[in-house]
Amino acid sequence: MLEKVGSELQSRYTYTDIDAFFAALDISTSNVDSGGSNSKRVYAKAVLSRVPEAILLKVAGELDIVSAGSSFAQVTPPRNWQDTKAFRLFISHISKDKLIATRLKDALAKYDIAGFVAHEDIHPTLPWQDEIERGLQTMDALIAVHTVGFSASIWTQQEIGYALGRGTKVISFKMGEDPTGFIGKHQALPRRNRTAEQIAEEIDKLLAADPRTAERLQEAKDIARAF
């Protein structure tokens, strides 16, 4: 959405017009670091990267990118993603191996990648399935942790199917079991006795090399540096 809004502002307005547009919506443009770029799109994205998601959706509505009743506007990220601009990576795993998923999540944080681990990140008072669906709807990519028993889980297979249906980047991480089904034809990321930190480094490289995720990942890193 940030990319769509930035591109729309670039096509419609001059820099002066963009500043006036932001001022009308009480959006501050002070101390904005656009990375030295002369692009109106990059400038607009730098400004909007600092605002809450509700304000971004309001801007999108003003530009007719989304309507007030659109399904996009109604999607709320899971709790642990609501206050982050980091890259959103859904970590699909089976419950008995939640510690492996959590360890990977912690290692990925260094790369401005916010992992979602269902068995850790869902608050006890929140509906479990609803939070998983929100994670799937708002993720930037998914990694499947293929420990023994993963392919037999109805939940993990549904999560992968959802990601593939959206055209989302899926990484298969092989930890004792080969990927099956539609993702079985793609080469999996092997464990090879590497640490979580080493695996996280390779995941970062894979996401940076894929056109579906490269820009979003770089955007997350740029925002983190700006703050």
Q: Is there a contact between 212 and 205 (Cβ–Cβ < 8 Å)?
A: no
Burial of 88 per CB tally in 10 Å (0-12, 13-18, 19+) = buried
With the CA atoms of 61, 44, 212 and 169 taken in that order, what torsion angle do they form, in degrees rounded to the nearest 10?
-60
**What is the tens place of the pLDDT at every residue in 115-140?**
999 988 887 777 888 889 999 999 99
pLDDT at site 73: 46
Taking residue 18's Cβ as centre, other Cβ atoms within 10 Å add up to 20
**Residue-wise pLDDT tens digits, 37-96:** 678 888 898 888 888 877 888 888 888 887 544 544 457 889 889 888 899 999 999 999
Distance in angstroms (rounded) separating the CA atoms of residues 78 and 70? 19
Q: Per this entry, what is the length of the chain?
A: 227
The better pLDDT of the pair 3, 72 is held by 3
The end-to-end CA distance of the chain, in Å, is: 21
- How far apart (Å, rounded) are the C-alpha atoms in residues 24 and 27? 8
- Token reading at 95: 């419950």
**Tens of pLDDT, residues 156-175:** 999 999 999 888 999 999 99
Computed over every residue of the chain, the mean pLDDT equals 88
Residue 189, strand partner residues: 173
Q: Look at residue 129 in the predicted model and tell me its pLDDT.
A: 86
